[in-house]
Chain A
Amino acid sequence: MILLVDPGYRSGSLPRDEFVLPVVRIVERSGMSWIYRHYDDMDDEEVLDIQGIIICGTALKDNHFIAHVDRFAWLNGAMVPVLGICAGMQILCLTFGGSVKEGCEIGMTEVNVTVPHPLLPPPPSFQAYELHSFSCDPPPGWETLAVSCGCVQAIHDPNRPRFGVMFHPEVRNDRVVEVFLEMCGD
């Protein structure tokens, strides 16, 4: 069971259709079951019975979650693999000691792989869909796996299977999500 966390401004709001449901399609295609939770509705117990967590993205103008990042403190106790996509990567950064700053990218962008990793397409680079108004400074000790001209694009906690990607893998880079799901199935 994969837990899909919606960081959108309201449970079930329009960003869920645009940023969570496309990830649902990939999870279902991979033969895994899933459960949807808005971040406001999370409680610690739910984190115990799942194989992996994906924190999805939200609308470009939606930054409500930044003011409520304390509601993601449960991530500290999550022992299963975690993938943060866009807003999800920003949440991982803020939860584990990194920071976010203004930095906008929209549309297909060249992403350069700095540290080859099975999660990402092979080096030297790949095209990815971007839709973010903030970028990340990774938490201390986390590895930067990929960058664009504008910002850090992929990060990894070397001590735990926690990953963040700033691009949207559900658009033209499904394989990133599929590889993550394979990690959850192991």
Chain B
Amino acid sequence: MRLGVLCSGGKDSLYACYRAMQEEEVACLITMKPKNPESYMFHTPNLHLVPLQAEAARLPLVSVHTEGKEEEELVDLAGAISIAAERHGIEGVVTGALMSVYQSSRIQRICRDLDLWCFNPLWYTDPDAYMERLLTSGFRVIVSGVFSAPFDASWLGRELDHRAVKDLNAYVREYRITLTGEGGEYETLVLDAPFFQKRIVIEKSEIHYRNYRGVLDVKQAHLEER
């Protein structure tokens, strides 16, 4: 089955892509670029690096701009998926949804309307087991945004390794954040994945941080041999 993966550039969408590749054929990545930074469905830092990830994975990319208004962006998403179906013959869509009924229900409805399959391989997955699989299967992931206490600026650009996950687990206990960032507490950027032919190297970046909210704004990056 040929599938298109909804990709934000973060760990969940690219891990879902990896899992989909183990069972089916991933034909393309699909990304939405919201103009509204408060987009309900798609906002995440460093979306502009998804084309580099697609190139690293040698996958075609369907990229569509959206205004990022609550219901209009769903129409735009349906349009992007339709383009992917037309250009790349996808029969289904894969998402990295973890627990968001809001996002998942909307994407399920779009897929039903378009007569496409919809897969969410990380749906209600065990957070500890997922993070362990992520760390041990060849992904290189950094924190690209923080949006809650107690994250300080040192987290921006920090690699998600065993020590970072241990620290996150301490935050889970003390501050009741979600380990995976499902609650929007932090966002990630994937620099390398087991299915990448090349890895992403960040050349220039800026950190913007204030009052427990901040992003790593990647200004320049390129691909290197692994």
Using CB atoms and an 8 Å cutoff, list the residues of chain A in contact with chain B: 12-15, 17-19, 21-22, 25, 59-62, 104, 106-108, 129, 131, 133, 170-172
Contacts and interface: CB of A to CB of B under 8 A. Distances in A.
Contacts of A170: 124
A59 B117 contact: yes
B123 A22 contact: yes
B220 interface: no
16 contacts: A14-B20, A14-B94, A14-B119, A17-B19, A17-B121, A17-B123, A21-B124, A22-B125, A25-B126, A59-B118, A60-B111, A61-B116, A61-B117, A62-B117, A133-B112, A170-B124
Question: What's the dominant secondary structure at chain B's contact region?
Answer: mixed
B219 interface: no
A29 B101 CA distance: 22
Nearest to B119: A14
Contact of A60 (B112, B121, B124): B112
B182 to A, nearest CB: 13
Contacts of B126: 21, 25
A131 B123 CA distance: 13
Interface in B87-130: 92, 94, 101, 105, 108-109, 111-112, 115-126
A18 B123 contact: yes
Which residue, of A13, A61, A62, has the highest number of chain B Cβ atoms within 10 A? Answer: A61
B108 A14 contact: no
Contacts of B116: 61
Interface of B: 19-20, 23-24, 92, 94, 101, 105, 108-109, 111-112, 115-126
Contact of A171 (B23, B94, B124): B124
B99 to A, nearest CB: 8
Contact of B24 (A14, A17, A108): A14
Nearest to A174: B124
B171 to A, nearest CB: 22
Contacts of A171: 101, 124
B108 A131 contact: yes
A15 B108 CA distance: 14
B162 to A, nearest CB: 22
A62 B91 CA distance: 12
Contacts of B125: 17, 21-22
Contacts of B122: 17
A7 B23 CA distance: 16
Contacts of B117: 59-62
B124 A14 contact: no
A60 B119 CA distance: 9
Which residue, of B19, B108, B122, has the highest number of chain A Cβ atoms within 10 A? Answer: B108
B109 A106 contact: yes
B129 to A, nearest CB: 9
B123 A104 contact: no
Contacts of A61: 92, 111-112, 115-118
